[in-house]
Amino acid sequence: MRAASLFGVLTVAHLLMLAGHSMPVSLWTPAAYVWQDLLMALLFAAVDHAMKRPKPAWALYAILALYSAVNVPIARILSSPLTWPMMRAARGPLLDSIRHYLTPGNIGAMATVITAAVVFPLLLHRLKFRLRPSVVVAAIVVTIIGLLASAHVETAGKHRNAYGALLPVRIEKHRGLEDGWIDWRTPPFPSDLSSTPLRSFRGTARGRNVVLIALESTAAQYLGIYGSIADPMPNLSRLAERSIVFERAYAVYPESIKGLFAVLCARYPAFQTPAESYANVRCPSMAQTLADAGYSTALFHSGRFMYLGMEAVIRNRGFDVLEDAGTIGGNVNSSFGVDEPAAVERILKWIDALPREQPFFITYLPVAGHHPYATPTRGPFPGSTEFANYQNALHYGDESLGDLLRGLRERNLENKTLFVVFGDHGEAFGQHEGNIGHSLFIYDENVRVPYLIGIPGVVTQQIRARHTASLIDTMPTILDLLGLAIPTSSMGSSLLDPRNDMALFFTDYSLGFLGLADGCWKYIFEVDSQRSKLYDMCADARETNDRSSDENVRVDRYRQSLQDWISAQTLP
């Protein structure tokens, strides 16, 4: 009875998770969506039978039912129950985001599952239900059919229940490790986009200060410099008027911490690795390289270093000063950080305390674009939708960006500084089924970011660079502009070189996705299902027309390139 009741609870929870989402129409569909619930009930039945003790069995039943209930609102919002990476992310700094989703609808959904957990045992007891061998055999058969059905039905992970989502995605080993260094980013086909010649800028920022700004959750497609009619970041647009603007720049990973590792170390993160493990990765970081060249170095973060193991990425990387929300203080505090004006004020005070003519390297990590997009002042975008709040959050952060640029100008430092500004990753608002936030998918709204390089006095008008850029290219590009040597360990390349490399990226937050951008082409590979999607971004910027069935040779080569690349990314 307990196992049958659990199956009923899991079914109710799964139906609530799927409410509002589309499902593929196929004879395989019912089995594909129910098999994990049946499997979990069968495993529980086996444990229940072995225990032969009602009280512990009921306690286990209650725990499983409660965990299923908690996962319902999460899956309703993100189209995925909790995974291990998602659990690591759901810490104190996200309390404001968690509170934001404690709506009557989500609370009611959890209450429905808990109610079902109480009602099913009472109902089955009244019906004198017994788990007969024929029922068990039928459940096993349907489970096996469902497992096979997963290969025939594209569920985008929504077939998983709260327990199936905890199974880690595994990467098959391919050539790459044993073959030594491979330039994984070399396109396997002639590029359909020409590169923009930038070699003449090599060394033109020699001796300048460096200000590196990673804009939180800022996707390129929402900004005026990338064609958006509504421009939430006018100060960034003004800086871009006299900057090199990369039209196709991509994050390595759609999450801040591992993405920051790629920027600071010019090295790819590894699949299915917690951020804390990067403390053991030694690299000639950008901060250390510039410190060795005589720069004072500092990192200012208006968020909190405790989030997602960030300290493991930034400690012992060559920064003289590391300050986050706890040190900066601020006038407005949230669970995620402090207000941007306070962070900018602290940056300028640090600059003022430096000896005159002392070169400096500043990394500034604002948090203004992060969910729940709360701002202390009312922004210019009307409405109360998530997207309107997001635009206002970007605008709020942009005001502080303007304050920082103005502060440097007033100190006569503008023409002595190299500016590199980019989005650490994007942000999605349902452009693709279930794609909310930034971490779970690698569509362009997740990984295509703004990227610009300003050298005031040298770059006097906007230059649009069409070749593909990756955030992993940041350190080698900055060092090339400064006339400094690029470490041989760098997995990135200077964007001043006339190459047109592919950009490589992945996510392992829920389903495992590998992806690349190669000129007009964008390829996405789902690791578990082995499914491919291919888009011609020049003709289909919204990624709606999958061309994979028309381009078998291209798909095969891209898939092999990605599998070789991700297999080679390991940590010591």
pLDDT tens profile 238-262: 999 999 999 999 999 999 999 999 9
Domain residue ranges of the chain, discontinuous segments joined by +: 2-166, 199-568
**Beta strand ranges found along 202-242 (DSSP E):** 209-215
Cβ(286)–Cβ(478) under 8 Å?
Answer: yes
**Measuring CA to CA, which residue among 234, 268, 271 is closest to residue 250?**
268
For the segment 32-89, what is each residue's pLDDT rounded down to a tens digit?
Answer: 999 999 999 999 888 888 887 888 889 999 999 999 999 999 898 888 998 888 887 7
Binned at pLDDT 50, 70 and 90, residue 334 comes out as low
Amino acid at 316: N
Residue 89 pLDDT: 73
pLDDT of residue 339: 87
* CATH, range 199-568: 3.40.720.10
pLDDT at 275: 85
- Find which of 133-147, 319-333, 461-475 is predicted with most confidence, using mean pLDDT: 461-475
Specify the DSSP element, H or E, that contains 507: strand 503-507
Helix axes 54-78, 104-126, angle to 10 degrees: 150
Determine contact, residues 235/402, Cβ cutoff 8 Å: yes
Reported as a single tens digit per residue, the pLDDT across 9-26 is: 999 999 999 988 888 888
Residue 399 predicted with pLDDT over 80:
yes
- Give pLDDT, residue 384: 87
Residue 176: band (very low, low, confident or very high) from pLDDT cuts 50, 70, 90: very low
Residue 116 confidence (pLDDT) above 80: yes
Q: What percent of the chain has pLDDT over 90?
A: 70
* pTM score, whole prediction: 0.94
pLDDT value of residue 242: 97
What's the mean per-residue pLDDT of the chain? 91
Residue 178 has pLDDT above 50, yes or no: no
pLDDT at 92 over 70: no
Helix-helix angle 29-51:54-78, to 10 degrees: 150
User: Average pLDDT of 365-374?
Assistant: 91
Please state the three-class secondary structure of 322-386 as a single string: EECHHHHCCCCECCCCECHHHHHHHHHHHHHHCCCCCCEEEEEECCCCCCCCCCCCCCCCCCCCH
Q: Return the pLDDT at 91.
A: 64
179 has a pLDDT exceeding 50: no
Q: Per-residue pLDDT tens for 487-545?
A: 999 999 999 997 889 999 999 999 999 999 999 999 999 998 999 999 999 999 999 99
CA–CA distances in Å: residue 207 to residues 357, 479, 552: 10, 11, 49
